Structures are given as C-alpha cells and as structure tokens.
Amino acid sequence: MTIKVGDKIPTGMFTVMGAEGPTGMSTSEVFDGKKVVLFAVPGAFTPTCSVAHLPGFVVHVDDIKAKGVDTVACMAVNDVFVVDAWGKSANAEHLLMLADGNADFTSAVGLTLDGTGFGMGTRSQRFAMIVDDGVVSLLNVDQGALEGSSAEAILAAL
C-alpha cells in the first residue's frame, strides 16, 4: 500500500557516508522533530536524475530551507558508495544523501519501480514529499516526466 498524506513515515534505516565510512541513519533521525523535504530518484547517475532532478534541489536548497525546511534529502536505491559519489559530483553537499540500497524504505512506503526490464532491478519511483515531524504533509509522485517532484514544484508548495 502506498503511503499517503497524513501517514507516519515507517520505521527503517538508510545508509549515509560518514566521516569514517558507511553508517546507518534511522528514519527517526531523519524525520522526527523536523520539517524535511525528501525526494527520490530511480537511480544515481541516470539521465533525468543527474541532469534535472538533483541539480534543481542543489540550486534551490537555500530557498527551500528559507521556507522553514530543516533538511533536504535525496534518496536513491543504490549503494552508499554510488550515492555519495553522485552527491559529490553534483556539488550536493548541502543535501542529505540517503542510500536505500535494498529498497527497504522504498518498499515500506509502497513506491517501488520495477526496473528489471532495463537491468536495474527494483528501484524507487520518482517522488518528493514534505514530512512534518514524521508525518507526510505532501506527496507528489511523477508518472513519467519530472514534474511534481521537482525542486520548483516543492518550493511552490511550501
């Protein structure tokens, strides 16, 4: 079942690159007591994700935070090494780069994408959500083109 506005974020873990290597970060660490914009991409280094989706948030992160957002997080169903390298290559140091390597979080929120036809396995649909203290207040899931999950769309919704 797909998560919806008013639902609490499920308990789970992400992986982030820490100063000493990969480390776990719980959903409570990411979302509890904070206003968070989380956007998800089908894959790091994939065309739309690298050319438009992530760069839009890199450009607009300060504008988004000026609207009262504590954290802007990017999530991909890739390993933490790929997600970290992608973030560094995109100058995304002001974003929280979250790896959902086994698609556990993506599955828990019901937003998986079957990429097996492209040799990509299970991935995340392209989406963005605003989460207030662990509760979803906005969820935009794109059906193909980058639209409702763009930085511009989220900025307009804040």
Q: Which of 104, 123, 130, 156 is nearest to 49 (CA)?
A: 123
In degrees and rounded to multiples of 5, residue 127 shows phi and psi of -150, 165
Give, for 139, the enclosing helix (H) or strand (E): strand 135-141
Active site residue 74: no
Tokens for 67, please give them.
């609207």
**CB-based contact 39:73 (threshold 8 Å):** yes
Dihedral sign for Cα atoms in the order 117, 92, 11, 131? negative
- One of 49, 54, 128, 155 is an active-site residue; which one? 49
List the catalytic residues: 49
